[in-house]
Amino acid sequence: MSHTSPEPAELIPTPPPCPDSLACAAALQTNRNRIARALLDNLRIVPRWADEIHQNQHDLDGFIARELQVFVDYVHLYLKSGDDAYSHLYIGEKLKQVYDARLQPGEAARIRNQLIKLDAQAFLGVLGPALPAAPLGYLERHLDRLNSVLAATGNKTLSILFVQDCLYLDILAFLTAPLLEDGISLTPSYATSKNPEELRAQLRTLSKSKIDAVFFSPFTYEFSPEFARLLRGRNSLTAPARTKTTVENAIAETQKTLDLICDLFDCHIFVHNAAMIIREPSPIKRRAKNLVTMPVRRTARNLVRAWLDGYVAQKNSDTFEHLFVIDETEPLRRLGEHALGALFYSAQFQHPAAFGREIAGRYRDLLFVEAFLIKRKLVVCDLDNTLWEGLIGEGSVRHYTDRQQILRNLRQKGVVLAINSKNDPANVHWAGCALSDDDFVCREISWEPKVNGMRRIQSVLNLKLKDYVFIDDRPDERALIGSAFPDIFTMDAADPRTWRLLDLWASLLETHPEMDRTVLYRQREERLAFLQSEEGSAHDSEAMFKNLDLRLHIRRATQPDLKRVVELINRTNQFNLGATRTSFGEAAGWTADPAATLLVARATDRFGDMGMVCATLVRDTEGGVEIPVFVLSCRVFGYGIEHAVMNHIKRLAQGRPITGWYKETPQNGPCKTFYLDNGFAPQDNAWVFHGAAVGNPAWLTVTTD
């Protein structure tokens, strides 16, 4: 994956075991206890562990066995097997170990970097006398690779809430290093109580913090004690009716928690269904347990899946699409329950299973999309060896219809597409493609440098560069674009993961956006061309706008409007009088408040529907009316729509004083004089209107409910 900003050092896989690595592994096994004890002294620099060590003075050997031997074992197992999973586990466990919520970020980073250096010295100090120079050097290089990842910080930091039992330990252990390779750091929070009421209390507390995504696995491992009993062999002969009752009870409790999560968090929420994996170190015992419990687990798995699919569809329909299923049965079908239940390691506090590694891979892709793609608006794509195999001007090509369909899905979800390709425009055609020429708002196809093409795209679309994704198969072209436009996110068309991530991005976007942004841009071009043609013939702007046939409909917002209202408020910077940001829950509260009126305005003209372009909140007070929220889309600047909406508010006020709130920001200069222009006078820290409504702009046809 290509990035335009510096990436953290990658964990470079070491070749398969060689004599030097095996010699190191043997020495680590022999000196396991000595190294773990040396790590103990280092750990005292982490404040929370200093307290823990002090409390365990009576049993330091037990503490070392529980908390520190695992690090020696992971290095040993990696050098013995060559399996990168053990390096990822080492990194994940070490980052969990150094985490201390009481520390400020700078202090936490200082302590982390100091600890990993001291730990490397502990390994080498103990093994130095026991190893020849070549194996010792091999170990030192491996520790350096581990520490380069441990010391790295991502370009993006995500705050993630894990509502899980010990599954989160597996996932973080397998996830942390790959995410750092992607340029992502995590700030994790946890709600782990198996007592439902206590769990929900934890969630209410955590909702006060900023959370970028929530991961909830209600049926995995032992999180639901009642549900987990179905994994036990002695329940294998349970009657189907009793199994069904057990599952329904677990579902009922889960639904209460999931309802609360959806109410508390507006971010994406990912909820697991149930694979019902049995973790067991012994392959023979694992096969036996799987066989004995298979009928009960199959019944429970199907019941959970049917309920969750229905619940998610209904909840998203009732609110907005922010709830998604993580299908635990997908790796089950692909790899089988026996393989997924195998443990990489087994100790009191560490028992990572193959299932955790598989699910961590899914989390990695989801978090990549959250960090780098989810808020972007434009994909600029190369053609040759990107959308088809070969050069279209030099013979026949083989179309990558799967890639084209992914881009088409993104377009249908509101992402705008453009082309930036070195090619002869006369050679480019779309016969046999899943895309057509109409799917692209801009087509920069020439033999000029792609940097020039990107500048022309930017001038036409007027989007911020941080909204761009550029896809190209050539690293030199990506590097040139990245150097000229550091905010553009570049992706390698030749990497299969690129298309998996783009497909995932499409799946996380709203299924039914308010309107097709590609059509909006096309209408905008037609509108601008029309206005330019009218400038010479129209006597004044009023006549010119009149010919646009501008129509505005103002009404109270309803529940289906809320997602678009929240999006309009949160994405509007230039004409946002109160510098407002909101949540779905808060907006829903506005519609339920008898003292509040949430208004929305929708605009059309001769070229089509411009959609919801204005939202404002009007609240009755003891002294009159106040306007805490007023936003207007930049695509309708200059048409007088904001004045028509304000006139409607004046009529609603029925002569009562109107108080308008304005908070100046670096971006909202376009609305700085709005209240003054509408007859408001400054008073204290607000603007107040005493008067009656005036007429709307003559070129606007305004209707209201």
Q: How far is the CA of 495 from the CAs of 403, 500, 611, in angstroms?
A: 12, 9, 37
Do residues 344 and 226 share a domain? yes
Consecutive H or E run containing 161: strand 156-163
Q: How far is CA 375 from the centre of its chain?
A: 9
CA distance 490 to 285: 48
> 142 and 200 share a domain?
no
C-alpha dist (Å) from residue 595 to 446, 589, 592, 617, 660: 59, 11, 9, 10, 16
Token pair listed for 23: 């010699």
Q: Based on the fold, state whether residues 165 and 295 are members of the same structural domain.
A: yes
Query: Are 632 and 642 contacting, i.e. CB atoms less than 8 angstroms apart?
Result: yes
Cβ atoms of residues 659 and 627 within 8 Å: yes
The Cα–Cα gap between 639 and 616 comes to 17
Which residue bears the tokens 């290093």? 177
Question: In terms of domains, do 134 and 22 share one?
Answer: yes
The pLDDT tens digits of the residues spanning 46-80 come to: 988 988 898 999 999 999 999 999 999 999 999 99
> How many domains does one find in the chain?
4
Q: What is the DSSP letter of 576?
A: B
Q: Is 532 part of any domain?
A: no
Where would I find the H helices in 352-441? 354-372, 401-412
H or E segment at 33?
helix 32-43
> Which amino acid does the sequence have at 154?
G
Q: Please, how many CA atoms are within 13 Å of residue 111, restricted to the half-sphere of its CB? A: 23
Q: Cα separation of 103 and 98, whole Å? A: 10
305 and 165: one domain?
yes
Q: How many CA atoms lie within 13 A of 314 on its CB side?
A: 9
Q: Centre a 10 Å sphere on the Cβ of residue 408 and count the other Cβ atoms it contains.
A: 18
For residue 705, the model assigns a pLDDT of 83
SS3 67: helix
Q: Is residue 515 part of a domain?
A: no
Which regions of 20-87 does DSSP assign to beta strands (E)?
none
- Choose the final residue of a domain: 119, 152, 185: 152
Q: What is the CATH number of the domain that holds 470?
A: 3.40.50.1000
The candidate with the shortest Cα–Cα distance to 585, out of 566, 609, 612, is: 566
* Residues spanned by the domain of 624: 537-704
User: One-letter amino acid identity for 501?
Assistant: L
**Gap between the Cα atoms of 518 and 441, Å rounded:** 6
519 located within any domain: no
By three-state DSSP, how is residue 547 classified? coil
Give the span between the Cα atoms of 302 and 308, in whole angstroms: 10
Regions of the chain where pLDDT drops below 50? 1-14, 538
- 383 in the same domain as 352: no
Query: Is residue 451 included in any domain, yes or no?
Result: yes
DSSP for 71-115 reads HHHHHHHHHHH--HHHHHHHHHHHHHHH--TTS-HHHHHHHHHHH
489 and 606 belong to one structural domain: no
Distances (CA, A) of 78 to 24, 67, 274, 387: 10, 19, 31, 40
Shared-domain flag, residues 162 and 279? yes
527 belongs to a structural domain: no
Pairing mode, if any, of strands 156-163 and 184-191?
parallel
Beta bridge partners of 604: 551, 609
Pair (134, 175) in one structural domain: no
